[in-house]
Amino acid sequence: MKARLGEIAEALKEPRELQQARTAAQEAEQELARWRALQQEREAAQQRAADKLAQAEANLYSGKVRNPKELQDGERDVSQLRRQRAQAEDDLLEALIALDSAAEAAKQQQAELSRLATEWEASQARLRTEQVQLRQRFLSEQAREAAARKTCPQTSSRSTTVCESGEAVVPLRV
Whether residue 163 lies inside any domain: the answer is no
Residue 137: give its domain's CATH number: 1.10.287
d(CA 107, CA 70): 54
Whether residue 160 lies inside any domain: the answer is no
pLDDT of residue 123: 87
Whether residue 140 lies inside any domain: the answer is yes
Whether residue 172 lies inside any domain: the answer is no
Between residues 151 and 46, the one the model is more confident about? 46
- pLDDT, tens digit, for every residue of 9-20? 777 788 899 999
User: Span 86-97, mean pLDDT?
Assistant: 96
pLDDT of residue 138: 81
Contact between 104 and 33 (Cβ < 8 Å): no
Range of the domain at 35: 2-146
Domain count, the chain: 1
Residue 155 has pLDDT above 60, yes or no: no
pLDDT of residue 163: 58
- pLDDT, tens digit, for every residue of 160-171? 555 555 565 566
Whether residue 118 lies inside any domain: the answer is yes
d(CA 19, CA 7): 20
pTM above 0.85, yes or no: no
Whether residue 23 lies inside any domain: the answer is yes
d(CA 90, CA 84): 10
